[in-house]
Structure 1
Amino acid sequence: MSALPSPDVELVELETPIGSEWEPVFRLVLGGVADRLGLGFEELDDLQLAVERLLAEAGAQRSVKLAFELAHDRVRTHVGPLSEAPISAALQGPPPAPGELGLRRVLETVVDSFGVEESDGGELVVRLEKLVGPR
C-alpha cells in the first residue's frame, strides 16, 4: 500500500471481508491500536467513525485491507483497495456545500489529514492520519 515504514514505526495489517458482521473485528483491532498508542476514547471513536464511513461509502466491496502505521506521534491508516468512482467523487471532487455532511466533511472533522493514493490495480487506497497527543 505504501513504502515500508521506518524502523521506529510499527506496522499492523488486517484483511477482512466488508460487512456489518465483520465490524467488531476491525473495531477490536482499532481498539488494540489505540491502546498501544495511548489514545483516548475520543481519538479511538474518531478513527472508528472515519473507517466505518469510508467503508460505507465504498459500496459493494468484497474485502478490504487496513494497514496501521504506528509511530510515537501519529497513527496512519491505509484503507483499500476501494472502488474508484464513489470515493474519488467524494474526496477529490469540489468541496461540499455548506452544511452538507458528506464523506469529505466527516474525514476533515475526525482525522488530522487524509489523502487518496492509487493502488497497482487502479483502485484507490485512502490514507487517514490521526496525531497522538502527549502521553
Structure 2
Amino acid sequence: MQANDVVELNIPAKPEYVGVVRLLISGLASRLGFSFDEIEDMKVAVAEACTNAVTHAYQEQEGTIQVKCLSYPNRLEIMVIDHGQSFDINRIKRHSGPINQETDIQKLYEGGLGLYLIETLMDRVEIQSKDGIMIQMTKFKEVASNDRPIQASSS
C-alpha cells in the first residue's frame, strides 16, 4: 500500500534540534487524527531515537539526522536515519529491558533503555544498521470498536 503523504525533515545531529522533530511529529499526528496519548508516545519514541543518533552516531563529528514520516489511513510510519557509527543491535537488546527491583544498581547496563522505551511506546519497531542506523517505528490508530488493528511485535 502506498503512503498517502510523505514528509521529510533533515536536521543537524545536535540536541537543540530534537524539539523541532517533536513538533513535526505532534503536528503531523494531530492532523492525522491520533489521540493525545498516541501523539505523546510517538513524540517520546522519536525524541529517544533522535537523541541516540545525536549522542552516538557521529562521535564529535558533524552529521545530520533524517526523519521521514509516511502516513497511511490506519497508521503513521516514522524513520529516523543517521549515517554515523553503527552499533551492535543484538548486544544492546540483550541488555535492554525493564529494570528488576532486586538488581544491584552497580550491575545495571548503560544503554539500551532508550530502545526498550521506543519498543514499548510504538506498535512496531525495526532497526537496520547498514551505513549508519535506521529506526523505523509504526503507530497504528486506535479504533473505537472491536475492529482494532492487530499489533505487530517488534523485530
TM-score by length of 2: 0.69
CA deviations over 1:33-56 (Å, ceiling 9, x no partner):
112211122111111111111222
More strand by share: 1
* 2:99 alignment partner AA: G
Q: Tell me the secondary structure at the aligned position of residue 118 of structure 2.
A: helix
- Equivalent residue for 1:131, pick from 95, 118, 140: 140
Structure 2 portions without partners, runs of 5+: 101-111, 145-155
Distance in 2, Cα, partners of 1:130 & 1:72? 12
Aligned equivalent of 2:106: none
Does 1:44 find its partner at 2:39?
A: yes
Aligned equivalent of 2:80: 79
Q: How many residues align?
A: 126
Report deviation, 1:22: 1.5
TM-score by length of 1: 0.78
The answer to whether the 8 Å contact 1:57/1:87 transfers is: no
**Is the alpha carbon distance of 1:98 and 1:12 closer, same or farther for their aligned partners in structure 2, counting shifts above 3 Å?**
closer
**Is the alpha carbon distance of 1:33 and 1:85 closer, same or farther for their aligned partners in structure 2, counting shifts above 3 Å?**
same
Distance in 1, Cα, partners of 2:30 & 2:80? 20
**Is the alpha carbon distance of 1:65 and 1:52 closer, same or farther for their aligned partners in structure 2, counting shifts above 3 Å?**
same
Distance in 1, Cα, partners of 2:98 & 2:24? 34
Report deviation, 1:95: 5.5
Report deviation, 1:57: 2.2
Aligned equivalent of 2:99: 99
Q: Tell me the secondary structure at the aligned position of residue 107 of structure 1.
A: helix
TM-align CA RMSD: 2.5
Does 1:111 find its partner at 2:94?
A: no
* 1:128 alignment partner AA: M
